[in-house]
C-alpha cells in the first residue's frame, strides 16, 4: 500500500498545482501552496522530502459478514431460483438476501434456521434436493437422504425463461412519472473526473438540452456478489431520495447496457474537499464550521429517512459553484433503519470507521456523527486525529490493523491552537462511547444545533442556501475542471468495447427494473 501511494505522488509531482486567484482564498497562506510536494521520491516507496502524509484518498470497503455454526460458514444470499431450506424444508423466498448459504458445502437454510443446523459441515458439496411436480403441478421435495443435511444450491425455475441480454426496456416499464428512456447515445462523453474500485465517473453533456451532468459507470461484471447487487440498488434508492435536498447530489436518470450500469447525476463543479485540503492544509474555523453545519443538515435529512450514510470523508464532500457542499456516493448506505434499529456490517473508509464498528457491536446513526468529528478535525488541524508519528518508518505501525487499534485505544489530542468551542465540538463528536456522543443523545440533532461551536449558524437560512459560503471556487465556465485532480482529467475518455464472453456470464435478471428517470428534472427539461 505504501508503494502504491508513492507511485501516485510520483505521478502527481509532474502535474504542478494550478494557481488560484488570491482574492478567492485570502484567508489562506498562499506561500504554502508551492511546497506541498516540492520533490519527487528518490525511489518508489520512499516519501518526498517534506511530504505531508496526513491527507490522502482512500477507498471505502465492505467486509463480508460470515456466520459460523458447526463448521459451516454461512453468508447471506439472494436466490432468484427455487431453493429450499435444508432444515425446515420450506421454500426460501422473499425480497433481498432471504437465506444463508454455506460457502464450503453449499448448504442452504433460512436465516431463522441457520443456528438450528446440527450436522457439521462436510467441506464437500452436498447432494441436491430433487424438485418434482406432483399431479396438481405443485413442487414437492424428494431426496436420497436426510433433508436436514443436504440442499441443492440453485434449482432453475422452468417457467421463467432468462431475459435476453439486450432486451429493450419499454417506456411503460419505467418508474411512474416518466415517459422518456435514456441511453448512452443521448450523451456526449467529455472528460473523466473520478474513478473508484467499481466505477468510473465522467463529465457528460445531454445532447438534447446541452446540460452538463456527471455519469457514474459501473461494469456489471464487477457486480458479482449478492451484496454488490444490493449496494447498487441501495445507491439508486438513496440517489432518488437525495434529489429533494440542497446538500445532497441528486439523480437525473439510470439506464443500462448488457455490460454496464449508468447513473446520471448532478455535476458539482467546485471539486471535493480532499482536493482543496491537499492545497490549503487546513481551514479557518469559520470555514470548517460552515461546512460541518451543512454536512450536519445533509446527514440529519438522511437519518430522518432511515438512511445511515457510512462513508463520510473529504473525498465525498463536493463544493458547488457557489461554495455550498453536496454529499455524494451512496454505495455504503444502509436503508430502512427506524429509530432504535441497529445494523452490524463492518464497512467504511478505515480512517473514519467508528469504534463501535471496530468492536463488532451493533450500531446506528452514531457512526455518521463520529465520521463528521474525524472530518471536522481534519479541516481544523490539517491532519487525521489518528496520525502516528514516524509510522512510515515502522512497517508494523503502517498497517490497517494498527490503525484500528489506534482508533480504539489512543487518546485523541486536540491541537492547542484551536478555540475552546472547536475543541469542545471535536470532543463531543469523537467520544468513543456512542451513547454519549454528540448527536446521539435523547435530543439528537438538537444537541448539535445548540452546541456553542454552531452558535453563529442561522440553521433555517443555511438550509435555504441563503447564507453566503466563506469560499467560492473560481470557475471559468460550466465545463471548467480546474478543481478536479489531473490524474483523472488527463485520462482518455472511452469505454472499453464489450466482451461477448463476459456478457454471456452476466445474469441480466439481477438488474431488471434498474431504469429510472427523475420526473422533476424531466419537467424542467421539457421547459427548455
Cell of 223: 457486480
Q: What are phi and psi of 472, to 5 degrees?
A: -120, 120
H/E element, 342: none
Q: At what angle do helices 285-304 and 366-381 cross, to 10 degrees?
A: 170
395/31 Cα distance (integer angstroms)? 33
CA proximity to 216, closest of 195, 234, 230: 195
346/362 Cα distance (integer angstroms)? 10
Query: Active site residue: 311, 315, 320, 368, which one?
Result: 311
E strands within 310-407? 317-319, 325-327, 347-348
To the nearest 10°, report the CA torsion of 314, 340, 241, 426.
-20
225/230 Cα distance (integer angstroms)? 9
Strands 347-348 vs 61-62: parallel, antiparallel or unpaired:
antiparallel
Compute how many other C-beta atoms are within 10 angstroms of the C-beta atom of residue 375.
25
Q: Which residue do the cell numbers 446513526 mark?
A: 365
Cell of 362: 451493533
Q: At what angle do helices 285-304 and 420-429 cross, to 10 degrees?
A: 30
Compute how many other C-beta atoms are within 10 angstroms of the C-beta atom of residue 99.
25
Compute how many other C-beta atoms are within 10 angstroms of the C-beta atom of residue 339.
10
Asked if 311 is an active-site residue, the reply is: yes
H/E element, 449: helix 445-449
Sequence-distant (≥ 6) Cβ neighbours of residue 413 within 8 angstroms: 385
431/377 Cα distance (integer angstroms)? 13
With beta carbons less than 8 A apart as the criterion, state whether 114 and 100 touch: yes
452/450 Cα distance (integer angstroms)? 6
57/271 Cα distance (integer angstroms)? 14
Give catalytic residues, as residue numbers: 311
Amino acid at each position: 500500500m505504501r508503494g502504491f501511494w508513492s507511485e501516485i505522488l510520483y505521478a502527481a509531482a509532474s502535474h504542478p498545482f494550478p494557481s488560484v486567484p488570491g482574492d478567492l482564498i485570502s484567508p489562506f497562506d498562499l506561500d504554502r501552496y508551492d511546497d506541498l510536494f516540492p520533490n519527487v521520491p528518490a525511489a518508489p516507496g520512499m516519501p518526498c522530502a517534506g511530504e505531508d502524509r496526513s491527507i490522502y484518498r482512500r477507498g471505502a470497503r465492505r467486509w463480508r459478514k460470515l456466520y459460523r455454526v458447526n463448521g459451516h460458514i454461512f453468508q447471506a444470499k439472494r436466490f432468484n431460483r427455487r431453493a429450499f431450506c435444508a432444515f425446515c424444508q420450506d421454500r426460501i423466498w422473499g425480497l433481498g438476501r432471504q437465506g444463508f448459504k454455506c460457502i464450503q458445502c453449499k448448504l442452504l437454510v433460512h436465516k431463522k434456521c441457520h443456528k438450528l443446523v446440527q450436522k457439521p459441515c462436510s467441506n464437500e458439496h452436498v447432494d441436491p434436493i430433487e424438485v418434482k411436480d406432483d399431479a396438481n403441478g405443485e413442487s414437492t421435495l424428494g431426496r436420497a437422504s436426510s433433508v436436514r443435511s443436504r440442499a441443492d444450491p440453485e434449482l432453475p425455475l422452468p417457467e421463467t425463461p432468462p431475459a435476453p441480454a439486450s432486451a429493450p426496456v419499454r417506456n411503460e416499464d419505467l418508474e411512474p412519472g416518466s415517459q422518456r428512456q435514456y441511453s448512452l447515445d443521448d450523451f456526449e462523453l467529455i472528460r473523466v473526473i473520478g474513478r473508484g474500485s467499481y466505477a468510473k465517473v465522467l463529465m457528460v453533456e445531454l445532447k438534447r438540452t446541452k446540460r452538463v451532468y456527471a455519469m457514474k459507470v459501473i461494469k456489471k461484471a464487477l457486480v458479482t456478489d449478492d451484496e454488490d447487487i444490493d449496494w447498487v440498488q441501495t445507491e439508486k434508492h438513496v440517489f432518488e431520495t437525495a434529489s429533494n435536498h440542497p446538500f445532497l447530489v441528486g439523480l437525473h436518470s439510470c439506464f443500462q447496457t448488457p455490460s454496464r450500469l449508468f447513473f446520471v447525476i448532478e455535476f458539482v463543479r467546485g471539486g471535493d474537499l480532499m482536493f482543496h485540503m491537499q492545497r490549503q492544509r487546513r481551514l479557518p474555523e469559520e470555514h470548517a464550521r460552515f461546512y460541518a453545519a451543512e454536512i450536519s443538515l445533509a446527514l440529519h435529512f438522511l437519518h430522518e429517512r432511515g438512511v445511515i450514510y457510512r462513508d463520510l470523508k473529504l473525498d465525498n464532500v463536493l463544493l458547488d459553484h457557489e461554495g455550498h457542499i453536496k454529499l455524494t456516493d451512496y454505495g455504503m448506505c444502509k436503508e430502512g433503519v427506524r429509530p432504535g434499529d441497529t445494523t452490524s456490517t463492518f464497512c467504511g473508509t478505515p480512517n473514519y470507521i467508528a469504534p463501535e464498528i471496530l468492536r463488532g457491536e451493533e450500531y446506528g446513526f452514531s457512526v455518521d456523527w463520529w465520521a463528521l468529528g474525524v472530518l471536522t478535525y481534519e479541516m481544523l488541524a490539517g491532519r487525521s486525529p489518528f496520525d502516528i508519528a514516524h509510522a512510515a518508518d515502522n512497517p508494523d505501525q503502517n498497517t490497517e490493523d494498527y490503525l484500528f487499534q489506534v482508533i480504539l485505544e489512543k487518546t485523541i489530542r486536540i491541537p492547542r491552537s484551536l478555540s475552546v468551542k472547536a475543541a469542545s465540538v471535536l470532543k463531543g463528536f469523537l467520544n468513543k462511547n456512542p451513547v454519549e456522543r454528540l448527536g446521539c443523545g435523547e435530543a439528537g440533532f438538537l444537541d448539535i444545533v445548540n452546541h456553542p461551536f454552531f452558535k453563529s449558524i442561522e440553521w433555517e437560512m443555511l438550509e435555504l442556501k441563503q447564507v453566503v459560503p466563506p469560499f467560492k471556487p473560481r470557475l471559468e465556465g460550466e465545463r471548467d475542471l480546474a478543481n478536479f485532480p489531473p490524474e483523472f482529467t488527463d485520462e482518455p475518455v472511452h469505454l472499453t468495447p464489450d466482451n461477448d464472453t463476459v456478457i454471456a456470464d452476466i445474469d441480466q435478471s439481477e438488474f431488471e427494473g434498474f431504469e429510472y428517470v427523475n420526473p422533476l428534472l424531466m419537467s424542467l427539461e421539457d421547459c427548455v
